[in-house]
Structure 1
């Protein structure tokens, strides 16, 4: 039975971190909100979230159905999928290390979102532009180097080698780091151009993931949605500053 991924149509967003793992493993999955021919779409996702009968309903997408089992939150989904897809360390203790790294990526993604919505998600970006400029300036000068510097150090100190961030083989965390770098380059091209040379191991992981056969095919396909100003990583020129 195919995995069912539930996420908003039209944006990469947080759902893309799960898609990358499914695509790398060539897993059989359905991107439910995008499958209009199935008579499901976004309505099925909202119906499950608002169900008065289902146990343990998810708070928000993305979430994944494996048969009747529903698992939510990106890091939690990947912690569940990783061993099944061959994208988690074989050592059980290292699986918790990988989960910790993925949770740190979750923190970073949350901060990226807050650069363009620093006051409230219910307000348009245009309603909070001045606050967004201040938040983005701090994010670029302080938080990007904080997070990327951390991941660079973990890569450099990985006993399994700096070609991957945990253990001695590719994991879902490497795929997620690829997405983070892609997203930051889209949202903050000036800032990321200046930072590029500071993180050689992180850049190496990004480039290696992009060249993987299944990922490269996915990136060329229409299944890979383009970045846009409705997702997590948004490019607003006013917010992109050279550090």
Structure 2
């Protein structure tokens, strides 16, 4: 979201439980699910590694002509040789822009993450607001995400909030041509509607928590014909709110 400035500090966040959790994660936690890098994001983000908990999606954002996110995940799993049941979304929320899906990994991380997410969105919270994307994102040492502008439609309405989790003094952020510093334990509203880039010049990975928050969604209008149809390969995701 473009809020008229490159970045703004939303205040402190208690990340100690999350830091402890991340320190104990096996490498496989970061490399197991590459759905975001391979399908959901543009090429500039392919160097990052993610633990994905929530994302928005619509068929118009994907070139496969698939109508249902469940089918997209199912086909991707089959191509990778994975059991689809471990990757299928477990909840769906309708918004006036795109549906939002929650993934199974949320259940394993919920106890630690839910209080942190609530702290992060508190300055922006509304009665109808929706967390539209949630992920832990690791940028390996030496990796570079080149200058770009987030172009998806939700980026015009949702706040992209970064919470640095790792101490990474050698990470260089640039937003609208300006160098920006973000420190662990604070939440930052990050203007992703202007050109921005990041380079990890250090020897250790950088880990940030990404929280996208859509504070003022309109009324979701559901096409009755589309609602009557179902995915071809997988059961439809239940409509419910988990975060």
Q: Same fold (TM over 0.5)?
A: no
More strand by share: 2
For normalisation by structure 2, the TM-score amounts to 0.30
The answer to which structure, 1 or 2, has the higher relative contact order (CA under 8 A, 6+ apart) is 2
For normalisation by structure 1, the TM-score amounts to 0.30
